[in-house]
Amino acid sequence: MIDLIGVPFDLGGPVLGSRLGPAALRIKGLSSTLTSLGVTWCASEDVVAIDYDGDLPLPTRYEKARNYLPELRRRVTESLNEGRLPLVMGGDHSLSIGSVAGALTQGTDDLAVLWIDAHMDLNTPDTTPSGNLHGMSVAGFTRLPTKDRVGRVRSWGQALTEAWPKILDETLCDLSLPKGNVAWIGLRDVDEGEARHLAEMGGSTAWTMQDIDRVGIQGVFSQFEVWLQNTGASRLWISFDVDVLDPLYAPGTGTAVRGGMTYREGHLLAELLSQLLSSEKSAVRLAGLDVVEVNPLNDHQGETARMAIEWVASLFGKTIMGDHLTSQKIRRMGGDA
């Protein structure tokens, strides 16, 4: 049973509109797609209300994030305690501080996070060029330390310096993900500070678009499987930012970067994950899933929301032939399946 948890919050990023992401995913048929795959689901109320118009200054945005993130952790925890699988619909990527915090309540060392994104989201208050929380999520749930003073020239510096530890303390309590348990796939827009931070992330590993160009998704995935096994993790949280796809396929997002995955590369990744996480040979199971940064205001006729739903369907086992057709085909070929 999947819990669909909506997070209509977009104040973690510079471009507003992903607050409409959960609505777009619902309208384009996320739940009916799950039903068609035989997956049962349970709709839950949105974690946060859209109780503001337009834009808000960064200090107010931090306060708003501080309010909703502990509530998201509570919802995800509740879902996992009930033995269900949380599917968190964003909203911007800052929500992962809350969703991963929820997964951490079930154990820390046995959890790994797969960050499928054009961006690392590994800035700390002293390295972020913009002050936007959606670029700091991984640094947040791994509790990466802030080393330097935040530059005084930045108007939001003081507010972020004060808000950041409060956000983390109130959302994560004393939990954090082991620094070696993060894998990135699809990177192509990395800040200087984030690249430096990777060296402090233990065995965490990043596969960029160049790696995908060189060895293909299949090659990257094989390396990821070895990495995952070496972490010793038995639960995988997948955080899927739609901007990992090229803007040709996913224009409806806030921080689109060209040179991304093709539609088929994205699907092959989902299909390989599906096989791994459902295989009897694998000890790793899916802990939960974020689908973030769908921004209907930048979209063309809902195609990004539709792409995200199709990606989720592949992750949950949809194949081109379908299991039924596949076994028919094997029988036709003389096999006895």
Residues 237-276 that bind Mn ion (CB under 5 A): 241, 243
- Our answer to whether residue 117 is catalytic in this structure is yes
Sheet with 41-43: strands ordered across:
41-43, 2-7, 85-90, 285-292, 235-241, 111-116, 182-187, 205-208
**Residue 92 engages Mn ion in binding (rule: CB under 5 A):** no
Q: For residues 134-156, b (16+ Cβ closer than 10 Å) or e, as one string? A: bbbbbbbbbebebeeebeeebeb
- Output 79 or 208, the one with its CB closest to Mn ion: 208
- Output 10 or 243, the one with its CB closest to Mn ion: 243
CB of 334 to Mn ion, least distance (A): 47
CB of 84 to Mn ion, least distance (A): 27
For the chain, give me the number of helices (H) and strands (E)?
11, 8
186's enclosing H/E stretch is: strand 182-187
Q: Is 23 exposed, middle or buried (0-12, 13-18, 19+ CB in 10 A)?
A: middle
Q: What are phi and psi of 99, to 5 degrees?
A: -70, -45
- Our answer to whether residue 290 is catalytic in this structure is no
Residues forming a β-bridge with 42: 3
Q: Which candidate in 10, 119, 211, 290 is catalytic? A: 119
Q: Which candidate in 10, 191, 194, 241 is catalytic? A: 241
Binding mask 215-234 for Mn ion (x = CB under 5 A): --------------------
CB of 253 to Mn ion, least distance (A): 8
Q: Which candidate in 46, 121, 189, 191 is catalytic? A: 121
- Output 117 or 194, the one with its CB closest to Mn ion: 117
> Are 125 and 133 contacting, i.e. CB atoms less than 8 angstroms apart?
no
CB of 151 to Mn ion, least distance (A): 24
Q: Measuring CA to CA, how many Å separate 283 from each of 228, 237, 248? A: 10, 14, 36
- Our answer to whether residue 93 is catalytic in this structure is yes
Write out the two tokens for 219.
């090659």
CB of 37 to Mn ion, least distance (A): 27
- Our answer to whether residue 323 is catalytic in this structure is no
Q: Is 258 exposed, middle or buried (0-12, 13-18, 19+ CB in 10 A)?
A: exposed
Residues 161-190 that bind Mn ion (CB under 5 A): none
Q: Which candidate in 3, 46, 117, 265 is catalytic? A: 117
* Distance between CA atoms of residues 228 and 113, nearest Å: 10
Helix, strand, coil % in the chain, rounded to nearest 5: 45, 15, 40
- Our answer to whether residue 300 is catalytic in this structure is no
- Output 92 or 271, the one with its CB closest to Mn ion: 92
Q: For residues 70-86, b (16+ Cβ closer than 10 Å) or e, as one string? A: bebbbbbbbbbeeebbb
Binding mask 94-133 for Mn ion (x = CB under 5 A): -----------------------xxx--------------
CB of 247 to Mn ion, least distance (A): 12
CB of 117 to Mn ion, least distance (A): 4
Q: Which candidate in 10, 134, 189, 246 is catalytic? A: 134
Which residue's entry shows tokens 């299949």?
A: 218
Q: Which candidate in 46, 93, 191, 267 is catalytic? A: 93
- Our answer to whether residue 121 is catalytic in this structure is yes
DSSP SS3 for 288: strand
Size of the site for Mn ion (CB under 5 A): 5
Residues designated catalytic: 93, 117, 119, 121, 134, 241, 243, 293
* Positions in the binding site for Mn ion (CB under 5 A): 117-119, 241, 243
